[in-house]
């Protein structure tokens, strides 16, 4: 079970099916994450891509804050079913689109850019796979100019620092590493 911590659906609790294996981001970590984001984006106009969505708790938090467009990518059919049920229960069909696909095959096919890209991959993913994910997001125009990519990972893992890396915040066993698409247009160079 998890709850929505803020917005129009604040306090609503969602009970997942017994056979789900996803671990929703803790309330403590979500409060920290959305506290940071509240100073960086306007929730009413932000476009969001939620990768490795699990039970969709991050997508639902953005929707509760009235983000108008959220794409949710999850390849586990049981989790996708739960996300669809939650969307219907909360009447968020106009805000959230769900894709039951593998993140690594979905990103290269996508033709849209997003202001915020959030990824919560399995904590046992290899460092090379984390790097591949970051490279895919920034090389496929998945993130808009000055957009933010947030990678959730175990606090035991050091962040991958590259030209897009901005900072990391730790919330117990969970850390969020922030990356910014600082790409410049040709006239700015």
Q: Are 42 and 75 in contact (CB under 8 A)?
A: no
Bridging pattern class, strands 174-180 and 2-3: unpaired
Torsion-angle region of 7 (φ positive above 0: left; ψ -120 to 50: alpha; else: beta): left
pLDDT digits (tens, 9 = 90+) for 133-187: 999 999 998 999 999 999 999 999 999 999 999 999 999 999 999 999 986 544 4
User: CA geometry: angle at 27 spanning 26 and 31, to 5°?
Assistant: 120
Q: Across the chain, what does the average pLDDT equal?
A: 90
**Which residue, chain included where needed, has tokens 């998890």?**
2
pLDDT at 120: 95
pLDDT band at residue 24 under the 50/70/90 scheme: confident
CATH for 2-188 (3.30.470.10, 3.40.50.150, 3.40.50.2300, 3.40.50.300):
3.40.50.150
Summarize the confidence of residues 102-127 as an average pLDDT.
94
Q: What is the DSSP letter of 157?
A: S
For residue 185, the model assigns a pLDDT of: 45
Locate the domains of the chain by residue range: 2-188
């Amino acid at each position: 079970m998890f709850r929505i911590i803020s917005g129009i659906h604040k306090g609503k609790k969602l009970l997942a099916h017994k056979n789900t294996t996803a671990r929703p981001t803790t309330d403590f970590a979500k409060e920290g994450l959305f506290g940071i984001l509240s100073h960086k984006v306007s929730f009413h106009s932000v476009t969001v891509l939620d990768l490795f969505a699990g039970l969709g708790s991050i997508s639902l938090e953005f929707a509760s804050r009235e983000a108008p467009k959220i794409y949710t990518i999850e390849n586990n059919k049981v989790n996708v079913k739960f996300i669809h049920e939650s969307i219907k229960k909360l009447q968020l069909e106009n805000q959230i689109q769900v894709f039951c696909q593998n993140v690594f095959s979905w990103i290269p096919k996508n033709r849209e850019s997003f202001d915020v890209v959030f990824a919560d991959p399995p904590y046992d993913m290899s460092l090379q796979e984390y790097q591949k994910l970051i490279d895919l997001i920034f090389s496929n125009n998945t993130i808009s100019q000055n957009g933010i990519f947030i990678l959730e990972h175990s606090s035991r893992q050091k962040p991958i620092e590259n030209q897009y890396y901005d900072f990391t915040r730790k919330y117990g066993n969970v850390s969020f590493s922030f990356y910014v698409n600082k790409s410049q247009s040709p006239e700015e160079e």
